Structure 1
Amino acid sequence: MTGDEEGKGRNGYGASAGAELVGSQGTTSIADAVVAKIAGIATREVSGVHDVGGGTARAVGALRDRVPGARVNHAQGIAVEVGEKQAALDIGIVADYGVALHELALGIRRNVIAAVESMTGLEVTEVNITVYDVVLFDDLEAPQDADAKPRVQ
């Protein structure tokens, strides 16, 4: 990797270690929603994460999924505070059963910090993770619709 490529993201536009959001030529402001979306995508990339968000956020997400043409809310379940140079995140997840939760949290932290810092140039000061639920394989096979009628063969 050459010196010019070092620190660049997937598209070649990632922030380098010395990137400044506040400089002599102006400032760059990054909205909380942008950081939340990046963190949401990075969280979902980690194996063992079944869903992101607590009960209410997931219920709203399920309703959104039923609306034709609705887009996935990648920021669901992510709370962010962004300052001039730093960001702090709170992430709620639902994990797959059998996953070591402490290792899952560590993997999420690593992935989120790497994604947010490389794409925004912000220093991530903390990533707090709350595990709201664990999904069992039997739960996945249950009918999603409470009004669903059993099949007649």
Structure 2
Amino acid sequence: MSESVVATIAGLAASAVPGVVGEAGSAPDAVATVCPTHATVDLTLVAETGTDLVDLMSQVRRSVSEGVRQMTDLRVTEVNVTVVDVRGR
């Protein structure tokens, strides 16, 4: 599985989480590293104002892990989330 495909899936899965605000409608920035049986993902995103950031990051990790697993059968061993800004929708 290509790293760019896994990164795209991860970005889309993260953007589906309430409280994640995309840049002009785009998905969060994602970078994936893929090994034969697992993947790691680094995400950079913008959070909606008033969102509990700890809860948001937990939901994003869960959504990304499940989304990548469902579409690729790869186990996600690590999802690193960086919130770079907070703004309204």
**Structure 2 length-normalised TM:** 0.91
Give structure 1 regions of 4+ aligned residues with deviation exceeding 2 angstroms.
none
**Aligned match of 1:86:** 38
- Higher RCO (Cα < 8 Å, 6 or more apart): 2
Paired residues, number? 89
CA RMSD of aligned residues (A): 1.7
Please identify which structure carries the higher helix content.
2
Indicate yes or no: 2:64 matched with 1:112: yes
1:108 positional shift: 0.5
Secondary structure in 2 matching 1:47: coil
Would you tell me which structure has more strand in proportion to its own residues?
2
| Normalised TM-score (structure 1) | 0.54
Which residue does the alignment assign to 1:43?
A: 14
Task: For structure 2, list consecutive stretches of 5 or more residues without a partner in the other structure.
Answer: none
Describe the SS at the equivalent of 2:54: helix
Superposed CA deviations along residues 31-87 of structure 1, whole A, max 9, x for unmatched, are 011101111110110000012xxxxxx5xxx6xx8xxxxxx6x5x510110011110
Shift of 1:118: 1.3
- CA distance in 1: counterparts of 2:79 and 2:3, whole angstroms: 14
Matching of residues 63-142 of structure 1 within 5 Å: 74=27, 77-135=29-87, 137=88
Counterpart of 1:31? 2
% identical aligned pairs:
39
The one-character-per-residue Cα deviations of 1:94-117 (angstroms, maximum 9, x if unpaired) are: 000100000000000111100101
**How far apart in 1 are the matches of 2:63 and 2:76?**
12
1:119: Cα distance to partner?
Answer: 1.0
